Amino acid sequence: MDDKEYFSFHNWPGLVLKHSEQGYAELEMPMLKEYLNRGGRLHGGFLYTLADMTAGTAVMSYGHRTTTVSGSMDYLRPGIGVEMLHSHGRVVKHGSTLSVVEVEILDQNETLIATAHMTFFNFDEPIPGKLEDRFIPIAD
């Protein structure tokens, strides 16, 4: 399987890596009606996936492959009327085996929608190429 096939979630419509540095990643994505549940609110599974991608990107900023071990999500607001989401992931512990990341997901008004606490296993295997190449080009 081609390496790019492993990162298909990173090609969601409108998903952009806004900023990345060692131990930190910031993603942004516009809301689409497909991300809402039947009640017109942000779907929890969508938010969890966004948190997972944000946290994983923050860990991969160290230059190695990683995979999710566990995650805990707090849904703080229903996300009604959201037009744009901003997610920020910060590695709070980067060990030789495990990394722990805290994630915040905010709307276009900087209202906190959800938080996540994620743990990742660190592979002793470098990621090929640049982290930015996994996404649609970085936004201005």
Q: pLDDT in tens for each of the 140 residues of the chain?
A: 444 444 455 666 678 889 999 999 999 988 888 888 888 888 888 899 999 999 999 999 999 999 999 999 999 998 888 999 999 999 999 999 999 999 999 999 999 999 999 999 999 999 887 777 666 554 44
CA distances from 52 to 22, 35, 48, 102, 125 (A): 17, 16, 6, 10, 20
The per-residue pLDDT for 41 is: 83
Three-state SS letters, 61-89? CCCEEEEEEEEEEEECCCCCCCCEEEEEE
The per-residue pLDDT for 106 is: 97
| pTM exceeds 0.85 for this model | yes
The per-residue pLDDT for 15 is: 83
Range 92-109 burial, b when 16+ CB lie within 10 A, else e: eebeeeebbbbbbbbbee
The per-residue pLDDT for 1 is: 42
CA distance 126 to 74: 31
Q: Enter the DSSP assignment of 37.
A: -
How many CB atoms lie under 10 A from the CB of residue 43? 15
The per-residue pLDDT for 138 is: 47
